């Protein structure tokens, strides 16, 4: 079946999360500094090979009013580059993932300022969790 990699794509940082082989559990993996799209694509391709990832799920930051801004264009571009590289990539609505990740950190007693690097990986884990839960309900 293969694992699933979740991506929370930001302008400064990119959060990554990984599923277990059974695609039940989503865990934060790491947060990367956003250097360039090509460097990110290379890193994701390497992770897919190393961790036996068969699907990459990228958060699509649709606005509350349903419109798509520059973040959506970046997510679609990343998806296209991964597909060109032979990797299955899917886009998933991530409207509230960063806000929810900050809530998780508050519940853990950490502030966003002291745990910036964790917010993005947790957000990626929440995006991935939502994807996995949706997939388990699909026929």
Domain harbouring 74, CATH code: 3.30.420.140
Given a contact cutoff of 8 angstroms between Cβ atoms, the answer to whether 32 and 14 are in contact is yes
pLDDT of residue 139: 37
What pTM was estimated for this model as a whole? 0.84
- Residue 100 in this model has a pLDDT that exceeds 50: yes
Q: What rounded mean pLDDT belongs to the chain?
A: 85
Parent domain of 61: 3-137
Given a contact cutoff of 8 angstroms between Cβ atoms, the answer to whether 82 and 49 are in contact is no
Write the pLDDT tens digit of every residue in 53-62: 999 999 998 8
User: In this predicted model, which residue has the larger pLDDT, 138 or 17?
Assistant: 17
Write the pLDDT tens digit of every residue in 53-91: 999 999 998 877 778 888 899 999 999 999 999 999 999
With cut-offs at 50, 70 and 90, classify the pLDDT of residue 48: very high
How many independent structural domains does the chain possess? 1
């Amino acid at each position: 079946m293969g694992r699933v990699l979740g991506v929370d794509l930001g302008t400064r940082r990119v959060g990554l999360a990984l599923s277990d082989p059974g695609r039940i559990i989503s865990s934060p993996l790491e947060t990367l500094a956003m250097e360039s799209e090509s460097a990110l694509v290379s890193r994701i391709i390497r992770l897919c090979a190393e961790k036996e990832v068969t699907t990459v799920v990228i958060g699509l930051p649709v606005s509350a009013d349903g419109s798509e801004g520059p973040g959506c264009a970046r997510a679609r571009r990343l998806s296209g580059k991964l597909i060109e590289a032979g990797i299955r990539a899917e886009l998933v609505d991530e409207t509230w993932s960063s806000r929810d990740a900050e809530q998780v950190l508050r519940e853990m007693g950490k502030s966003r300022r002291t745990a910036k690097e964790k917010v993005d990986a947790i957000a990626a884990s929440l995006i991935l969790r939502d994807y996995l839960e949706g997939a388990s309900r699909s026929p």
